[in-house]
Structure 1
Amino acid sequence: MYTIDNMNSKLYIDRLPRKLLNVINHFNETDKKARNFGTDTVLHLSEIHLIEFIGNNENLSVSEIARRRNVTKGAISQTLIRLEDKKLVIKALNSKNKSQIIISLTEKGWIAYCQHKKYHENINKIILSCINGKSERDINTIYSFLNKLEKLF
């Protein structure tokens, strides 16, 4: 287990938390920006994440999407209205249950879905480049730190 020695303790106590918060803030500011994800339509974070969910879980009803995402049906419905207006999703009758409406991505929705996946792949490359060449022990330490921090938050 690593310990902070007396010589470097001020460096760690003063600078490490600030550095982590700077990285988090910078990422949040970048990630919050609305993007078009390969389409002619600007998408906000809640919209692209719903597109991602629908792409990963095709042919679900509004109620099922809300249940699985642990949000209200109203919140999902409002976002779906915006996505429908932007021609990214379509609603259709379930062929097996004619009283149920299912949600699917349009071709434009699939483009946004794929571009969003590429966006995350790029973030993964950046993160992995930061640990490239590190020992397994160092990587485990970083992972353990992030895991513990996640649980505390």
Structure 2
Amino acid sequence: MNNNEYLIVLELRNQIAKLVNQYNKLEKMPFDTGLGDFLYPSELNMIEAIQSGKGKTVTELCEHFGITKGAVSQTISKLIKRGYVSKERSIHNRKEVLIELTEKGKTAFDRHEEFHRQMDESMTQLLQGIQKEKIDNFKQMLDLVINHIDKYSNLKDKRI
């Protein structure tokens, strides 16, 4: 790799790091539901997954998010205590516990969806002047970078 190529890779890596840091900052920021609570994105995402049918049990939610049962159970317990979700045994399988949104949970879901709609509209306006081909190229680049990083995140040998 020559010096020019190295500088390009370094700049790209720094930009990706900035993006990841901003995203992580956003993921740690609680949002006011307007219902007397602040919910973290992980809690809002759990509410969204339940409402949209991606998970009605702890096991399904684990599979959807790729996280442990303990992590899902902890989030669900917080949401139950705050009145956003409820748990009930399945009438078809007494061992299965179904998770459902309460009315408060449905309201939080609606507000979360509205937030995402506004965010998506803003992004659409931001991208309006960019040719579709350039956007497709950018998505292709992202896929390449994701696959490249994935190779390193799955290394058995973590030594540097």
Do 1:58 and 1:104's aligned partners in 2 also have CA atoms closer than 8 Å?
Answer: no
Q: Any runs of at least 4 consecutive aligned residues in structure 1 with deviations exceeding 4 A, and if so which?
A: 9-17
Match of residue 72 from structure 1 = 68
SS in 2 for 1:138: helix
Tell me, yes or no, if structure 1 residue 126 matches structure 2 residue 122. Answer: yes
Q: CA deviation at 1:108?
A: 0.7
Q: Give distance in 2, aligned partners of 1:74 and 1:17.
A: 33
Q: Contact conserved, 1:47 with 1:83, CA < 8 A, in 2?
A: yes
Change (3 A) 1:131 1:41: same
Letter in 2 for 1:133: G
Report SS of the residue matched to 2:38: coil
**TM-score normalized with structure 1 length:** 0.76
Which residue is equivalent to 1:143? 139
How many residues matched?
Answer: 146
User: Which residue identity does 1:35 align to in structure 2?
Assistant: F
CA deviation map 1:33-72 (0-9, x unaligned): 0112332111123211211111112772223332443332
Q: CA separation of 1:16/1:84 partners in 2, compared to 1, >3 Å: closer, same or farther?
A: same
Uncovered stretches (5+) of structure 1, i.e. residues with no partner: 1-5
Determine whether 1:28 maps to 2:44: no
Q: Structure 2, unaligned stretches of length 5 or more?
A: 150-160
For the aligned residue pairs, the C-alpha RMSD in angstroms reads 2.7
Q: Separation in 2 of the partners of 1:73 and 1:31?
A: 20
- Rounded Cα–Cα distance in structure 1 between residues aligned with 2:119 and 2:88: 34
In structure 2, relative to structure 1, the CA distance for the partners of 1:126 and 1:150 (3 Å cut) is farther
1:40 aligns with 2:36: yes
